[in-house]
Amino acid sequence: MDRRAKIFVAGHRGLVGSAIMRRLQQDGYDHLLTCSRAELDLRDQQAVTQYFQHEKPEYVFLAAAKVGGIQANDSYPAQFIYDNLAIQTHILHAAYTYGVNKLLFLGSSCIYPKFAPQPMKEEHLLTGILEPTNEPYAIAKIAGIKMCEAYNKQYGTDFLSVMPTNLYGINDNFDLQQSHVLPALIRKFHEAKVNDQPSVEIWGTGTPRREFLYADDLADACVYLMQHADRKQIDGFVNIGTGQDIAIRELAELIQRIVQYEGHLVFNTDKPDGTPRKWLDVSRMEKLGWTAKTSLEDGVRKTYEWYMKHAVHKEQLSCSDS
């Protein structure tokens, strides 16, 4: 990507989009196109078409999506499938229509079957049933992968698809009703410490294993691929992760130590565990020349520091306003 190229980062305020913005700015890219949800509703096909027609971006990072944890996915399945299908469909077609040089579509490791072999390889896609609690979201992301492949095949576009593992980091969502497990645990432990609560409840048994990638590492990988890879090298899509996983109980204990909370952990086994294990095979990405750099402990520390400086203050303001 030329430093003067027009680059559209869809979803620039989210966890992934904001990390991509930081990475691009760090590398000296200064012609970055962004729009807030109020300025451009990506679910509106006409609005997206007009935006691409007017701005003519040369590169696109498609990081915009409706995301959430088990509870959010289970509570709002219609919104998860509709919003994500609409967003990615409109952007992908507009990118083709207005001649975008290269596009990178971000999916999710939940595309893999619930009982996929571990670690999960790219060829395991569509080889079994999905985890029911996030099936609508997963189906939308699978459709995005296949749409990229179809446009590459029929129109010769250069649309890349990447499937990151579970993400966390700066600008994460710490809302207990909407967030994923890692930011939710950070908030739970922090509030329990501040309020001197004797215990913290954790959903499920604590035995499922998950892999976690610091969002700035993902951003580094995405920019690396846009600079050094094309659709032929990726051959469908590529996993992005650390190649290491951890049990939810161990994750909780790690966060407990970093937050310095001294109470007890209580596992609510009436709540769902979700997929037993989600561990990505990242050998294809390693062959392309990239590996993750941030350890889980360092990433959690950085995330907690950011939470203390930014998210806690916002929550206090919200409480005072109500």
- The answer to whether 94 and 109 have CB atoms below 8 angstroms apart is no
> In sequence order, which ranges of the chain are alpha helices (DSSP H)?
15-26, 45-55, 70-75, 77-97, 135-155, 181-194, 215-228, 231-234, 248-259, 283-287, 296-306, 312-321
Supply φ then ψ for residue 63, to 5 degrees. Answer: -105, 0
The 8-class DSSP code of residue 131 comes to: P
Other CB atoms within 10 Å distance of the CB of residue 61: 28
Greatest Cα-to-Cα distance within the chain, rounded to the nearest angstrom? 60
How far apart are alpha carbons 303 and 294 in whole angstroms? 12
Binding-site positions for substrate read 188, 203, 210, 273
304 is catalytic: no
Which residues are part of a known binding site?
11-17, 106-109, 141, 164-167, 180, 188, 203, 210, 273
CA distance 173 to 144: 23
As annotated, the binding site for NADP(+) includes 11-17, 106-109, 141, 164-167, 180
User: Using CA of residue 133, residue 136, residue 141, residue 146, what is the dihedral sign?
Assistant: positive
Of 29, 59, 96, 137, the catalytic one is 137
Please give the positions annotated as active site: 137
